[in-house]
């Protein structure tokens, strides 16, 4: 589906300032759709201003839609009688009564021209499903009265207003709860949801007839911003604040209102975020617990690694010493992953940090550490946490095998070359030592425990493992490919 900016770039001559203004409008216009019980379409003029393109569309959450189909990307071409064309050319708000019908549904249509610097840069078309008009009541009357004020603000260029970025996924909407405040700061209407939210915070008095500034000051010490800013309703800056008491949290969003005479009050939307904040705290506690578990596992593994190292130093058998050193290295590789996870637990691990630590560890235990040059060329990127442990063991075994058998504990270069492609991680470990023996085949001609471990772990990750000599017989390459998407 085309975005608003795709449509503007492809079809219009709007400049950056005009495009930004329309973008701000679309980011905030859900309040107008909900208050009007209406669908909104943003039309922008083509380079040929006899043509208009639908750049954005929104449906109300407070009533039924009047438009069953998405129209973004469609156009109006050379239709002088069309309401959008009329509003664009006249610069005035135009209206068509419910005599119009869309798919058999009686629809009211209003077109509001959007002007910047004396030029109309777009038209907001409002479609109201008259079959779904709600029965009159205080709530509906408040919605429609406020919607009428907002329509005038859009036309005069007073909406959208400069605003700190809304929390798009949790910012309060009209249906969550609302309060209407007049120009004197007196609450003229509070929805049942708004009243319930205030009572959860400990305010038991009725809201209607109260001064909004006094109501908010009664919550002093519970608001997450200075009270003098929170009590200001006459400026041109909407805001969002969050109240929190011992038992409840409420997110409040304020939209200043202006009519032809100037400021005429405000419309506040409230969302009870108590359950959301409780879930946030539970998640934080869970994450902290998981990080602590990884930290303790890492400490235990490092203790086991140290014991294996001590035992290897005391043994009199060369074979036993080698086996204990290999076991110590494998335990250390697993500990590295848990150390990374204990610092910043997530569902993925930035594996470059793990790989660099593993290469440093392998260098430390290599008998020819002063003669082998290690380097990583490329990035592993993010790897799922449940893959990271197996991958760390695989990388440690392959690099150790390259030193012992490829370079044969002599001087040389070992390169690790990772990259991601099409949802798969590809890792090549290249050394410039000896080629593979003639007829070499993994799992048949070798009794290496390390390669057996690699083959098993890669198979568990549904990947592939292969080794081959480099062209010209100057070294070998081990290639591991595993799915991570």
pLDDT at 188: 95
The pTM of the whole model exceeds 0.85:
no
For residue 199, CA distances in Å to 111, 187, 204, 281, 410 come to 40, 16, 5, 23, 77
391 has a pLDDT exceeding 60? yes
* Residues 8-30, mean pLDDT to the nearest whole number: 94
The number of C-alpha atoms within 13 Å of 298 and in the hemisphere containing its C-beta is: 16
**Averaged pLDDT for residues 375-389:** 86
pLDDT tens per residue, range 325-354: 777 776 766 676 666 666 665 667 788 888
Q: Please state the rounded mean pLDDT for residues 301-314.
A: 76
Residue 395 has pLDDT above 70, yes or no: yes
Q: Tens digit of pLDDT for each residue in 456-474? A: 888 888 999 988 888 876 7
Does the pLDDT value for residue 406 go beyond 90?
no
Kindly give the pairing relationship between strand 372-376 and strand 412-421: parallel
The residues that bridge with 33 in the sheet, in sequence order, are: none
Instruction: Measure the CA–CA gap between 101 and 35, rounded to whole angstroms.
Output: 21
Quote the pLDDT of residue 263: 92
Model confidence at 4: pLDDT above 80: yes
Average pLDDT, the chain: 82
Task: Report CA dihedral (35, 38, 44, 48) to the nearest 10 degrees.
Answer: -140
What angle (nearest 5°) sits at the alpha carbon of residue 184, between those of residues 180 and 186?
45
Q: What is the pLDDT of residues 172-186, one digit of tens each?
A: 999 999 999 999 999
Q: Answer for the pair 108, 125: CB distance below 8 angstroms, yes or no.
A: no
- Say what the pLDDT of residue 230 is: 46
224-240 pLDDT tens trace: 544 444 445 555 678 88
Are the C-beta atoms of residues 381 and 425 closer than 8 Å to each other?
yes
pLDDT at 229: 46
Report which of 115, 99, 117 is spatially closest to residue 107, judged by C-alpha positions: 99
Kindly state the tokens that stand for 286.
């869970």
């Amino acid at each position: 589906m085309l975005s608003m900016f795709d449509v503007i770039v492809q079809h219009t001559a709007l400049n950056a300032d005009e495009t930004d203004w329309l973008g701000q409008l679309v980011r905030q216009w859900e309040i107008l759709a909900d208050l009007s019980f209406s669908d909104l379409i943003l039309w922008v003029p083509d380079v040929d201003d006899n043509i208009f393109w639908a750049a954005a569309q929104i449906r109300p959450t407070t009533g039924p839609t009047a438009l069953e189909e998405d129209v973004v990307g469609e156009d109006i071409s050379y239709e002088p009688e069309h309401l959008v064309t009329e509003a664009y050319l006249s610069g005035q708000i135009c209206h068509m009564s419910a005599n119009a019908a869309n798919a058999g549904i009686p629809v009211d249509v209003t077109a509001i021209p959007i002007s910047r610097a004396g030029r109309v840069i777009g038209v907001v078309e409002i479609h109201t499903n008259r079959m779904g008009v709600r029965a009159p009541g205080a709530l509906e009357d408040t919605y429609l009265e406020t919607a009428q004020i907002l329509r005038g603000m859009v036309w005069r260029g007073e909406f959208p207003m400069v605003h700190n970025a809304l929390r798009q996924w949790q910012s309060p909407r009209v249906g969550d709860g609302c309060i209407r405040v007049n120009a004197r700061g007196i609450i003229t209407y509070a929805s049942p949801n708004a009243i319930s939210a205030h009572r959860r915070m400990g305010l038991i008095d009725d809201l209607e007839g109260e001064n909004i500034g006094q109501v908010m000051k009664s919550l002093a010490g519970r608001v997450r911003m200075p009270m003098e800013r929170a009590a200001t309703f006459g400026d041109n800056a909407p805001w969002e604040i969050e109240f929190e008491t011992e038992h409840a949290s409420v997110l409040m969003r304020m939209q200043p209102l202006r009519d032809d005479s100037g400021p005429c009050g405000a419309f506040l939307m409230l969302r009870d975020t108590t359950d959301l904040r409780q879930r946030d705290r539970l998640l934080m506690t869970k994450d902290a617990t998981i990080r602590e578990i990884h930290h303790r596992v890492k400490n235990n593994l490092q203790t086991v690694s140290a014991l294996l190292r001590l035992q290897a130093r005391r043994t009199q058998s060369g074979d036993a010493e080698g086996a204990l050193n290999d076991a110590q290295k494998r335990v250390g590789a697993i500990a590295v992953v848990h150390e990374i996870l204990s610092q910043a637990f997530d569902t993925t691990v930035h594996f470059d940090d793990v790989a660099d630590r593993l290469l440093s560890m392998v260098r430390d235990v290599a008998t020819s550490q002063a003669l082998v040059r290690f380097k990583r060329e490329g990035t592993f990127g993010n790897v799922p946490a449940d893959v990271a442990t197996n991958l760390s063991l695989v990388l440690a075994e392959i690099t150790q095998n390259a030193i012992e058998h490829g370079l044969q504990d002599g001087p040389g270069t070992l390169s690790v070359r990772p990259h991601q492609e099409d949802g798969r991680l590809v890792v090549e470990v290249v050394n410039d030592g000896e080629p593979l023996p003639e007829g070499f085949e993994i799992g048949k001609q070798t009794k290496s425990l390390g390669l057996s471990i690699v083959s098993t772990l890669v198979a568990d990750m549904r990947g592939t493992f292969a080794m081959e000599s480099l062209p010209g017989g100057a070294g070998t390459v081990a290639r591991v490919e595993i799915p991570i998407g």
